[in-house]
Amino acid sequence: MSNVILIEEKEKTLNIKLNRPNVLNAIIPEMIDGIKEGIQQAKNDSNIKAVLLSGEGRAFCSGGDIKKMGSRTAVSRFNYIGEINSLVTEMTSLEKPIIAAVHGYVTGLGFSLALASDQIIASEDTQFILSFSKIGLISDGGALYFLARNIGSYRAKELLFNAQPLSAQTAQKWGIVNKIYSDKEFQIESENYTKSLADGATMAYGLIKKLTNLSLYPNMEEILELERSNTSVIGTSKDHKEGISAFAEKRRPHFRGE
């Protein structure tokens, strides 16, 4: 396994850590593969009762690696998002709790992966951002689906349209974040909480997760596929190309709706 993902079994928990701290853990395909391997390990190992997903360095995840976005064809984008969809499906179908421990920036696909987890623990400095509209794209990884069902369509569209940061405190009020800890306590409290779940009635937790997800997410796969096909198309638009250029040149994009 590549070192862009660190996996450590600790007592009855499996720690999966994003490990590209020099670029705020921006996601590349090898990381998707690495997280999948971790989820599969948790699924197949009866000694593992809970999973902790976190990020090394100053941020949980800054989203997809934007430097690679502009070079993708519609076909390669379609295939890449298919891999993301497969990961999200594996996360939601794993009959063991997944806790996302997030800090710093939680952006784009990083936000989607946190939402695909079962609970989110945040450091008090956390900023959640869905910035796809700034580069002429729509979100992927199920964010459209999870947000609308958890915070309502109006707030979801507010986040997606405006791409403004959402603080950990507001995210907790809106029902996205379960617990907030100080920067100093965050790591140890995240581990302690995950361990407490691993020590609990894990068979019951698995069924609770399965049945709750069935009640909330009956058409998740359909939405994931719609995200995939529409992102592949809009990824070839003039607006997306302009958004990538503006990001690289550190200027405001001039979108034309094309």
pLDDT in tens, the chain (258 residues): 579 999 999 989 999 999 999 999 999 999 999 999 999 999 999 999 999 999 999 999 999 876 666 566 778 888 888 999 999 999 999 999 999 999 999 999 999 999 999 999 999 999 999 977 677 777 888 888 899 888 999 999 999 889 899 999 999 999 999 999 999 999 999 999 999 999 988 888 888 888 888 777 666 676 666 667 666 666 677 766 777 677 677 787 776 655
Q: Which residues contact 13 (CB under 8 A, 6 or more apart)?
A: 48, 49, 50, 51, 52, 191, 194, 195, 198
189: in domain: no
30: in domain: yes
Let me know: does 122 contact 175? Beta carbons within 8 Å.
no
Half-sphere exposure of 164 (CA within 13 A, CB side): 10
What is the number of domains present in the chain? Answer: 1
State the Cα–Cα distance between residues 85 and 65, nearest whole angstrom.
17
Cα of first residue to Cα of last residue in the chain, in angstroms, is: 41
249: in domain: no
129: in domain: yes
37: in domain: yes
126: in domain: yes
Range of the domain at 98: 5-183
237: in domain: no
Say which CATH number the domain at 149 has: 3.90.226.10
What is the pLDDT, as a whole number, of residue 137? Answer: 77
65: in domain: yes
